Amino acid sequence: MADDDADIRKICNLSLSAVGKWQVVLAATGAEAVTKAKEEIPSLILLDVMMPGVDGVTAFHQIKAIPSLKEIPVILITAKVQPEELEKYMSLGIAGVIMKPFDPMRLPAEIMRLLSQHYESSGVQSDVSSKKT
């Protein structure tokens, strides 16, 4: 899970680990997210859109260009709510978008809902059960 905001990393980590019972790997930048993804090969990647330097969308493209990571679903986190922006993100091939603010008690359920939709539309089996994010 990558976000440059330490407070969001903290609440997200708590939500995903305590509520979702997932193993979470945190990154503070898009570049760190790509590096850690290569090391950890997670089952799911969450990227904040607006990060300085390598932003979420750039990190997404870098991840998809790495053969060992290209099948891993990526969910973007953003506070922006413009429908045309949502469409643009979805057209990139992401698995979904989480809107900020999010409810930390419901975040894992929302992620699972997005993944179900994603796998249903792509016809692929979910790998997010032993869960490292």
Report the site for other proteins in 16-75 (rule: CB under 8 A): 18-19, 50
- Asked whether position 102 contacts other proteins by CB under 8 A, the answer is yes
Least distance to other proteins from the beta carbon of 12, Å? 8
| Contacts of 21 by beta carbon, 8 Å cutoff, 6+ apart | 131
In the bound state with other proteins, the residue whose beta carbon lies nearer, of 16 and 94, is 16
* CA–CA separation, 68 and 30 (whole Å): 18
Rule CB under 8 A: choose which of 79, 92, 109, 124 binds other proteins: 79
Q: Are strands 96-99 and 74-78 parallel, antiparallel or unpaired?
A: parallel
Kindly state whether residue 104 participates in binding other proteins, applying the rule CB under 8 A: yes
CB of 45 to other proteins, least distance (A): 19
- Cβ 107 to other proteins shortest distance, Å: 9
Q: Which of 7, 10, 2 is nearest to 34 (CA)?
A: 2
- Burial string for 87-116 (b: 16+ CB within 10 Å, else e) reads eebeeeebbbbbebebebeebbebbeebbe
b (16+ CB within 10 A) / e for 64-86: beeeebeebbbbbbbeeeeeeeb
Among 36, 61, 64, 100, binds other proteins (CB under 8 A): 100
Cβ closer to other proteins: 69 or 76? 76
Contact between 8 and other proteins by CB under 8 A: the answer reads: yes
> By the criterion CB under 8 A, which residues form the site for other proteins?
5, 7-8, 10-11, 14, 18-19, 50, 79, 100-105
